[in-house]
C-alpha cells in the first residue's frame, strides 16, 4: 500500500476538521478585526483579552519539533490577532498524560498522546469518575509514525524476521536472541508493541481482539515466550532507541520502536558498529502512532483558550511546519505535504512506501486487558 494511502486512513477525519477549522478561524478572525476596528484600545472591555495562555500536554517523541515551532506560532498569533499568546508546554509519556488529566494535576486545553489508542482509554476512565460525557471528542492527527521492528540487519536477515509472527516463531524454536521494547505501562510505544505481540499470538488483527483472546492462557504463554527474551524495558521509546543504538548488536538484536527513532539513530549506529540498524515493517500490518491533537471538552477550558488552541492546531498542520516535522523523522499528517525522499529512504534504515495493511487499534476495554495481561507475560527478571 503506498504511504500516501496509508497516511490517509488516519488523517482523513482530521483533515476535514482542519478545513472546517480554517473556516471557523477566518470567521472568528473577522469578528475580532471588527471589534478592534470599532473599539480600539478599549477592546478588553468588550471581552477580548490582551493575552491568552493555555497548556499543551503532549508526549516526548514530538518534543524537538514542538519546541522548535511553538515560538513561531506565538509570534504568528500576535501579529494576526493582536493578542499575546503563551503556550505552556508540558511533556511526558502517553500513559502519564492520561493520569495527570484524571487526577487534575494538569488542566490542559490541548492534549496530544502519541496515539489515538489512548483516547477511548481516557474517556472510559473519565466516565468512571462520574462524568456524564467524554472529555476527548474530536481529534486531528498532527504527524504519523508507524511502529516497526528495529534491529541489526545481520540478525534480522539471518532469521528472516518479517513480522511479529517470526519473533514468536524463533522464540518458540529456542533460537537465542535479545529483544526489548519500552514498558507498556509507561510508554505508548511499549503499549503498541504489546498490542502487536498479543495480536500475533492470537492470530488476529488488533481491532478484532477480544478481552477473552487477551486473557487466554494460550495467548499469554506465546507472548511470554517472546517477552522472556527481553533484556530491557524503558520509560520512553526515544530513549530506548538511543540506548539500543549506543550499546549495539551485543546488547540487543531486535526491538520495537517508532520509525522516527530508527531515522534518528541509523547513521550513527552503522558508523559505530559496522552493522546497519534497519526497520522491519511487520507483514501482519503496521500500526500507526498518529499523535492526535485533542482540544479537551473540559470545564476548565475557556472559550479563548479553545480558540487559541484551535489556531495552534491550524499552525501545526500548515505545510511549512509539517515539513519541519519530517526533519524530526515524522511523516506529515497533512495529506497535501509530500514525503521527503531524502529522509525516508534505506540510507536511514527506513522506506518511503508503506506496503501492506494499516491496522486499526483495539477497543479501550481490550487495551486495558492487554495492560493487565502483559504483567503476567513480561520478563520478571528485567
Yes or no: say if 146 and 286 are a contact pair by the CB < 8 Å rule.
yes
Least confident of 26-30, 45-49, 81-85, 219-223: 26-30
Least confident of 13-17, 152-156, 191-195, 376-380: 13-17
Average pLDDT, the chain: 88
Q: pTM (2 decimals)? A: 0.82
Q: Work out the pLDDT band at 339, boundaries 50, 70, 90.
A: very high
Distance CA 382, CA 378 (A): 8
Q: Which of 334, 353, 194 is nearest to 279 (CA)?
A: 353
DSSP character string of 267-311: HHHHHHHSS-EEEE--TT-EEEE--EEEE---TT--HHHHHHHHH
The yes-or-no answer to whether 3-143+290-332 and 145-288+346-377 have a common fold is yes
Which residues on neighbouring strands pair with residue 287, listed in sequence order?
359
Higher pLDDT pick, 231 / 4: 231
Q: Residues 6 or more apart from 228 whose CB is under 8 A from it?
A: 171, 379
Distance CA 87, CA 80 (A): 16
Distance CA 198, CA 201 (A): 5
Position of cell 478592534?
Answer: 36
pLDDT at 356: 82
Distance CA 358, CA 14 (A): 17
Q: Work out the pLDDT band at 47, boundaries 50, 70, 90.
A: confident
Please provide residue 142's backbone torsions phi and psi, each rounded to the nearest 5 degrees.
-90, -50
Beta-sheet strands, E only, within the chain: 51-59, 84-92, 110-112, 139-141, 143-152, 179-180, 230-232, 254-258, 277-280, 286-289, 292-295, 331-332, 358-359
Q: Which residues of 187-208 are buried (b: 16+ CB within 10 A; e: fewer)?
A: bbbbbbbbbbbbbbbbebbbee
pLDDT digits (tens, 9 = 90+) for 271-315: 999 999 999 999 999 999 999 999 999 999 999 999 999 999 999
Higher pLDDT pick, 58 / 6: 58
Distance CA 97, CA 88 (A): 15
pLDDT digits (tens, 9 = 90+) for 1-20: 333 333 333 333 333 344 44
Spell out the CATH class of 3-143+290-332. Answer: alpha beta
Q: Is 271 exposed, middle or buried (0-12, 13-18, 19+ CB in 10 A)?
A: exposed
Q: Is 349 exposed, middle or buried (0-12, 13-18, 19+ CB in 10 A)?
A: buried
pLDDT at 42: 39
The DSSP bridge pattern shows strands 179-180 and 139-141 to be: unpaired
Least confident of 3-17, 125-139, 185-199, 218-232: 3-17
Percent of the chain at pLDDT > 70 equals 88
Distance CA 137, CA 152 (A): 41
For residues 190-194, average pLDDT: 95
Higher pLDDT pick, 228 / 361: 228
Q: How many CB atoms lie within 10 A of CB 127?
A: 13
Q: Work out the pLDDT band at 61, boundaries 50, 70, 90.
A: confident
For residues 115-120, average pLDDT: 91
pLDDT at 46: 52
Least confident of 28-32, 72-76, 112-116: 28-32
Distance CA 116, CA 105 (A): 22
Yes or no: say if 141 and 333 are a contact pair by the CB < 8 Å rule.
yes
Higher pLDDT pick, 226 / 45: 226
Distance CA 319, CA 337 (A): 6
Distance CA 60, CA 114 (A): 9
Q: Work out the pLDDT band at 239, boundaries 50, 70, 90.
A: confident
Domains of the chain, by residue range, sit at 3-143+290-332, 145-288+346-377
Q: Work out the pLDDT band at 75, boundaries 50, 70, 90.
A: very high
- Which CATH number describes the domain made up of 145-288+346-377? 3.40.190.10
Distance CA 327, CA 343 (A): 7
pLDDT at 310: 96
Q: How many CB atoms lie within 10 A of CB 166?
A: 20
Amino acid at each position: 500500500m503506498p504511504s500516501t494511502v496509508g497516511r490517509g486512513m488516519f488523517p482523513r477525519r482530521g483533515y476535514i476538521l482542519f478545513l472546517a477549522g480554517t473556516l471557523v478561524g477566518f470567521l472568528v478572525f473577522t469578528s475580532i478585526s471588527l471589534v478592534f476596528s470599532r473599539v480600539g484600545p478599549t477592546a478588553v472591555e468588550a471581552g477580548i483579552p490582551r493575552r491568552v495562555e493555555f497548556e499543551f500536554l503532549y508526549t516526548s517523541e514530538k518534543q524537538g519539533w514542538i519546541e522548535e515551532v511553538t515560538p513561531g506560532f506565538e509570534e504568528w498569533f500576535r501579529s494576526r490577532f493582536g493578542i499575546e499568546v503563551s503556550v505552556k508546554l508540558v511533556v511526558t509519556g502517553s500513559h502519564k498524560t492520561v493520569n495527570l488529566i484524571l487526577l487534575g494535576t494538569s488542566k490542559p486545553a490541548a492534549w496530544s498522546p502519541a496515539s489515538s489508542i489512548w483516547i477511548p482509554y481516557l474517556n472510559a476512565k473519565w466516565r468512571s469518575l462520574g462524568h456524564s460525557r467524554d472529555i476527548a471528542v474530536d481529534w486531528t492527527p498532527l504527524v504519523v509514525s508507524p511502529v516497526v521492528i528495529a534491529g541489526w540487519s545481520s540478525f534480522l536477515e539471518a532469521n528472516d524476521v518479517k513480522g511479529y509472527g517470526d519473533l514468536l516463531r524463533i522464540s518458540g524454536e529456542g533460537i537465542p536472541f535479545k529483544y526489548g521494547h519500552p514498558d507498556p505501562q509507561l510508554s505508548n510505544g511499549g503499549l503498541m508493541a504489546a498490542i502487536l505481540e498479543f495480536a500475533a499470538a492470537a492470530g488476529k488483527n488488533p481491532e478484532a481482539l477480544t478481552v477473552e483472546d487477551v486473557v487466554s492462557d494460550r495467548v499469554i504463554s506465546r507472548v511470554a515466550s517472546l517477552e522472556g527474551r527481553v533484556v530491557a524495558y524503558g520509560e520512553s521509546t526515544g530513549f530506548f532507541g538511543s540506548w539500543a543504538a549506543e550499546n549495539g548488536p551485543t546488547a540487543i538484536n531486535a526491538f520495537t520502536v517508532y520509525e522516527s527513532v530508527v531515522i534518528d539513530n541509523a547513521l550513527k549506529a552503522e558508523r559505530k558498529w559496522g552493522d546497519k540498524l534497519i526497520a522491519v515493517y511487520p507483514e501482519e500490518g503496521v500500526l500507526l502512532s498518529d499523535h492526535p491533537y485533542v482540544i479537551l471538552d473540559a470545564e476548565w477550558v475557556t472559550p479563548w483558550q479553545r480558540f487559541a488552541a484551535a489556531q495552534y492546531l491550524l499552525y501545526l498542520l500548515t505545510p511549512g511546519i509539517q515539513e519541519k516535522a519530517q526533519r524530526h523523522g515524522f511523516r506529515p499528517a497533512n495529506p497535501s505535504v509530500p514525503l521527503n525522499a531524502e529522509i525516508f529512504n534505506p540510507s536511514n534504515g527506513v522506506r518511503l512506501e508503506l506496503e501492506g495493511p494499516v491496522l486499526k487499534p483495539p477497543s479501550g476495554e481490550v487495551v486495558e486487558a492487554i495492560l493487565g495481561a502483559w504483567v503476567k507475560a513480561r520478563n520478571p527478571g528485567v
